[in-house]
Chains A and B, each alone.
Chain A
Amino acid sequence: MAVTLIGRLGNLLHKLETLVHRIRVQDSLNRGLPTLGVPNFDLGLDGVNSDLESRLKQQKNSESGSSRSVIDSIFGSILWGVPKSRRTLEKRLTRKFQGKEFKEVTAIKKNIVACLECGTYHEMHTICPKCYGKVREETAAMKAAMGEDFQYNHPRSEVVYLYEDDQEDRAKYKGKYIVEMKKPRPLWFAKNLLTKGHG
């Protein structure tokens, strides 16, 4: 509201100034006097005194004064960066329901699958979190079973993990670093995973 008021006052003052100067110019023309200091040259004297007009324009160009009113020069800069008109309902609804944010947040994921082993849902490009959780736990237990050797005295020979059900294989692992796991071997942990290839 203050903005429009200031704008309107500015416009009014501008109009009054031009009017005053037109009167002055006309008066001085009538008297045959020179017309200096006339800021606005839209005199509306179409082709009547064209020679005089061109002289007045030259005078104007030489002067440095602005043709806008005082208020505009003070408040003009503050009115930049402001909405010119109210956003219509159509635009608001378009932004709300057809914008990028709406589409991202309401996007339905079509890449969710159920794990074949345990049935928990996971995204197609990921591992089943429950199954991997089990693997992570077992890995931690295996590390813990090795104790401080894992960090401070890691063996250079092959490391073998023997569970309670694997005791018959003890003979073939002679000379290797054996870690005793005091639990039965998990069903999903096949021995074949750890055999090395030859050749």
Chain B
Amino acid sequence: MALLCRNLLRSIATPLFRPNYQLTCIVARAFSTSQTACADFDPELKAKGIFGKKGPQKWLKYNDIVYPARKEGEPARPAEITHMRTNVKYSPDNMAYIATMIRGMSIDEALKQLSFHKKKGAHVISEVLLEAQEMAVRDHNVEFKSNLWVESSHATKGIVIKGVRRHAKRRFGEVRYKFCHYFVRLREGRPPKHYLPPPMTGYEKMEEYIREQRARRIAFSL
């Protein structure tokens, strides 16, 4: 089964594989006692996605939308740029934590925070943001590269390569080498003051309480 898997992988990706390409070591190491997987990738393959598969592409189609021209007097439509990176060798749950952190931040603030973040996903996300910023200025008519904010940022599950590891007493366990996709949308302009609903003040809580109390009804009454 292991050999079949390995041969299949090789047959799919032979033209793209270089001799000391380290992804094969994930499959190789899957059958050893070590639980670590290699993290370095061939840049060609990185661009294409794992084993030539690009992953989901719908997110980038938002960039191709052409809106009808604005009439005179209407304010300019803020530019929106979507970007993503597929099949990043990182757990989607761990990536999701970092993705939630930068929601609603200006791009400069996001890059600053990510540069001091100790997780691996932070480096990946900052690369994606910089690429998106570059694209915005080059292709989407954004005048100032700092005049962007993170409108949406999320991570989803990518492919999962399964391996085997040994346990005591002749038992075996499954090792899951997880990949994730990361999606981001940048919007031109200043970031909003409150991306998420702000915490309620005391007065607002009181008003809500009174509203709820007054909304009570006796069922099936006259």
- Which residues on A are within 8 Å of B, measured CB to CB? 96, 101-102, 105-106, 108-109, 112, 121, 123
Q: In this assembly, does B203 line the interface, its C-beta being within 8 Å of a C-beta of chain A? A: no
Give the residue of B94, B98, B115, B119 whose beta carbon is less than 8 angstroms from that of A121.
Answer: B115
| Chain B: CB-nearest residue to A121 | B112
A101 to B93, CA, bound (A): 11
Bound together, the chains give a CA A106 to CA B98 distance in angstroms of 6
Q: Is the CB of B116 within 8 A of A105?
A: no
- Contact check, B116 vs A123: say whether CB atoms are below 8 A apart: yes
Between A and B, 23 residue pairs with Cβ closer than 8 Å are A96-B93, A101-B97, A102-B97, A105-B94, A105-B97, A105-B98, A105-B101, A105-B119, A106-B97, A106-B98, A106-B100, A106-B101, A108-B101, A108-B113, A109-B113, A109-B116, A112-B112, A112-B113, A112-B116, A121-B112, A121-B115, A121-B116, A123-B116
Complex interface: chain B residues within 8 A of A105 (CB): 94, 97-98, 101, 119
Name the residue in B100, B115, B116, B119 with the highest tally of chain A Cβ atoms < 10 Å from its Cβ. B116
Those of B101-145 within 8 Å (CB) of chain A:
101, 112-113, 115-116, 119
Interface of A is mostly: mixed
| Count, chain B residues at interface, CB 8 A | 11
Main secondary structure, interface of B, reads: helix
State A162–B131 Cα separation when bound (angstroms).
47
Contact residues of B with A, CB < 8 Å?
93-94, 97-98, 100-101, 112-113, 115-116, 119
Residue of B with least CB distance to A97 = B100
Please measure, in the bound complex, the distance between the C-alpha atom of A123 and the C-alpha atom of B113, giving whole angstroms: 11
- By a CB distance below 8 angstroms, the chain A residues around B98 are 105-106
Residue of A nearest to B103 (CB): A106
CA distance A101 to B119 in the complex (A): 12
User: Considering the complex of A and B, which 8 residue pairs feature the smallest CB-CB distances, nearest first?
Assistant: A105-B97, A106-B101, A109-B116, A106-B97, A121-B112, A106-B100, A108-B113, A112-B112
How close is B167's CB to chain A, nearest CB, in angstroms? 15
Contacts of A112 in B (CB 8 A): 112-113, 116
Residues of B within 8 A of A102 (CB): 97
Q: How far is the CA of A108 from the CA of B101 in the complex (A)?
A: 7
**Alpha-carbon distance A96/B113, docked complex (angstroms):** 22
Which single residue of chain B is at the shortest CB-CB distance from A122? Answer: B116
**Which residues of chain A are near B100, meaning CB under 8 Å?**
106
Contacts of B112 in A (CB 8 A): 112, 121
CB distance from B204 to the nearest CB of A (A): 22
CA distance A106 to B101 in the complex (A): 5
Give bound CA distance, A108 to B98, whole Å: 10
Chain A residues with Cβ below 8 Å from B101 are 105-106, 108
In the complex formed, the residue of B with least CB distance to A107 is: B101
Q: Determine the chain B residues whose CB is within 8 A of the CB of A101 once the complex forms.
A: 97
Collect the chain A residues with CB atoms within 8 Å of residue B116's CB.
Answer: 109, 112, 121, 123
How far does the alpha carbon of A1 sit from the alpha carbon of B63 in the complex, in Å? 50
Minimum C-beta distance from B159 to chain A (A): 22
State the CA gap A106–B104 with chains docked (Å). 13
